Amino acid sequence: MLKCCMGQPSIQEMSSDLALKIEEIGAPVGIAIFCLSLLLFLQGHRRLPLVSFVIGAAIGYYLSPQITPLAAELGLSLSATQVTGIVCFAIGAILASLVKMSTRMLTSAFIFVTFSTGIQTLNNYGFDVERSNLWSGIAALAALFFTMGINKILPMIVSAIFAAYGFLTAALLITGNPLSTFEPVEFKTFALMLPIFVFSIFLQRIDVNKLEEKELAKEDPDPEYVEAQQHFIPL
């Protein structure tokens, strides 16, 4: 069993192989990444779980040939197609859940750091927030509204980042350039991603406003529309 595990490639090796495989396929993968990035670019705040699931399923499809022999060794009477389907669904669901959990964790961490810094700053100026019922209540109320605001905007931020980097990756694949041309940590990558990121946030805010308007229209329909509908109600 140990020998079998030692023969399996590491995560780093599989990641490198996946990148090389993507570069070999080239334009078709680039077009797919472009379409997913466009979805995140326009409606990422509500499409992020779906896109995460699709990406996870694609990764599962790539990994399934390495996992199929393990299923046979465990005595599972499953065909290669069944193993592929299970792996695709499982990794897709896991990735979608991880993205959702990571967004919530980022929200919690951001709020904790922000309010810890704020309380420490107020303490330095003589405001004892922790011992004052008034200041503690104000801080709790502020944290509540701050959390609601961050929960709305953070999915947009995450989606905009993924969309911006996805567009760059798609452009490299479609033009036949290596993926190492734009490393995530390089300044040129940041400079190219920034305008895409800002524009994505702007468009996603428009989409959010449209959805809110539709919800309000459902709750409070136009009186003229209601009156017109009543004329068609059978007696």
pLDDT digits (tens, 9 = 90+) for 24-50: 888 888 899 999 999 999 988 888 888
Mean pLDDT of 80-101: 87
pLDDT at residue 6, rounded to an integer:
46
Residues in the chain: 235
Higher pLDDT, 31 or 18: 31
In a domain, 169, yes or no: yes
pLDDT at residue 4, rounded to an integer:
47
pLDDT at residue 102, rounded to an integer:
77
* Chain center to CA of 107: 13
Name the residue with tokens 């309000």.
Answer: 216
pLDDT digits (tens, 9 = 90+) for 169-195: 999 999 988 888 887 777 888 889 999
In a domain, 14, yes or no: no
pLDDT at residue 137, rounded to an integer:
66
- Average pLDDT along the chain: 78
pLDDT digits (tens, 9 = 90+) for 41-84: 998 888 888 888 998 888 888 888 888 888 777 777 778 888 88
SS (H, E, C) the chain: CHHHHHCCCCHHHHHHHHHHHHHHHCHHHHHHHHHHHHHHHHHHHHHHHHHHHHHHHHHHHHHHHHHHHHHHHCCCCCCHHHHHHHHHHHHHHHHHHHHHHHHHHHHHHHHHHHHHHHHHHHHHCCCCCCCCHHHHHHHHHHHHHHHHHHHHHHHHHHHHHHHHHHHHHHHHHHHCCCHHHCCCCCHHHHHHHHHHHHHHHHHHHHHHHHHHHHHHHHHCCCHHHHHHHHCCCCC
In a domain, 83, yes or no: yes
In a domain, 2, yes or no: no
Higher pLDDT, 173 or 17: 173
Higher pLDDT, 228 or 24: 24
In a domain, 204, yes or no: yes
Mean pLDDT of 115-135: 67
Q: How far is residue 39 from each of residues 46, 196, 215, measured CA to CA in Å?
A: 10, 13, 22
Asked if 152 contacts 107 with a C-beta cutoff of 8 angstroms, the reply is no
pLDDT digits (tens, 9 = 90+) for 127-173: 666 666 666 666 666 666 666 666 678 888 888 988 999 999 999 99
Euclidean distance between the first and final Cα of the chain, in Å? 77
pLDDT at residue 117, rounded to an integer:
72
Does 2 have pLDDT greater than 50? no
In a domain, 86, yes or no: yes
Domain that holds residue 165: 24-100+151-218
Query: Could you give the number of structural domains in the chain?
Result: 1
In a domain, 142, yes or no: no
In a domain, 139, yes or no: no
